[in-house]
Amino acid sequence: DAKTTQPTSMDCAEGRAANLPCNHSTISGNEYVYWYRQIHSQGPQYIIHGLKNNETNEMASLIITEDRKSSTLILPHATLRDTAVYYCIVRPKKSGGGADGLTFGKGTHLIIQP
Amino acid sequence: DVKVTQSSRYLVKRTGEKVFLECVQDMDHENMFWYRQDPGLGLRLIYFSYDVKMKEKGDIPEGYSVSREKKERFSLILESASTNQTSMYLCASSLTSGLSTDTQYFGPGTRLTVL
């Protein structure tokens, strides 16, 4: 799986948009970009994923550059409850289903300031 | 809403005890996973199952076994708990889909302490 690089930590003011970058310069054409987050002492939570088009759901937006070498997760109106470690990972497309384990890097510790 | 539940949030056991961790998902997912998460070591896969009664070893299966008798339930068993199995244990599930993505949904975790 392609490796990702994320900043170690970021601050964001409550109510503002939080923009979390991720570099994945070795991503291959069949790999998706996934974002998860983990609030302290809880299980990881799936946020969003995409292949090449920008994606939006009720939690966040995912912007993937045209060359797919980087992406940005956007939390449009951050709240204190969004303080967590955010993990960007790339996962290959699987033909015929199947499963294997996730590997998280160190992620970005996002701290929302009141 | 997606729901994965784990039997306990916190558990304290003694060395040598047999420990059962239970995980239940209500999404009719084929795949279920057990991970442990330790500071500095990240998430590590212990076992996973892609169907009832089927199991596959992950990266660190030693000292653990699993059971999947029903589709919705996946149990992790520590036959004889040891102090180095003190950890946060996370269960996850995913759907086998022709769309070829495998979003995994996690439970809240069980923090196990072995004394």
Q: What is the pLDDT of residues A21-75, one digit of tens each?
A: 999 999 998 889 999 999 998 999 999 999 998 999 999 999 999 999 999 999 9
Ranges in chain B, pLDDT < 70: 1-2, 97-101
With an 8 Å Cβ cutoff, is A106 touching chain B?
A: yes
* B10-13 vs B110-114, strand pairing mode: parallel
**Residue A99 — pLDDT band, cuts 50, 70, 90?**
low
With an 8 Å Cβ cutoff, is A56 touching chain B?
A: no
pLDDT of residue A30: 85
Q: What DSSP state is assigned to residue A8?
A: S
Q: How far, CA to CA in Å, does B38 sit from each of A87, B27, B28, B109?
A: 16, 28, 29, 12
Report how far residue A22's alpha carbon sits from residue A6's, in angstroms, rounded to the nearest whole number: 5
Pick from A93, A31, A97, A96: nearest CA to B31: A97
- The residues, ordered by sequence, that sit 6+ positions from B40 with a Cβ below 8 Å of its Cβ are none
pLDDT of residue A7: 96
pLDDT, tens digit, for every residue of B52-70? 999 999 999 999 999 999 9
- Mean pLDDT for the stretch of residues A82-93: 92
Please tell me which of the candidates A42, A93, A102 has its beta carbon nearest to residue B104: A102
Measured between beta carbons, the chain B residues lying within 8 angstroms of A94 are 100-102
With an 8 Å Cβ cutoff, is B97 touching chain A?
A: yes
When scoring A32, A34, A36, A46 by the number of chain B Cβ atoms within 10 A, the one with the most, hence best to mutate, is A46
| Cβ–Cβ gap B101/A102 under 8 Å | no
**Residue A105 — pLDDT band, cuts 50, 70, 90?**
confident
| Cβ–Cβ gap A99/B35 under 8 Å | no
pLDDT at A95 over 60: no
pLDDT of residue B1: 66
Which residue of chain A comes nearest to B35, CA vs CA? A101
More confident position, A100 or A106? A106
Which residue of chain B comes nearest to A100, CA vs CA? B48
Q: Is A89 exposed, middle or buried (0-12, 13-18, 19+ CB in 10 A)?
A: buried
pLDDT at A98 over 70: no
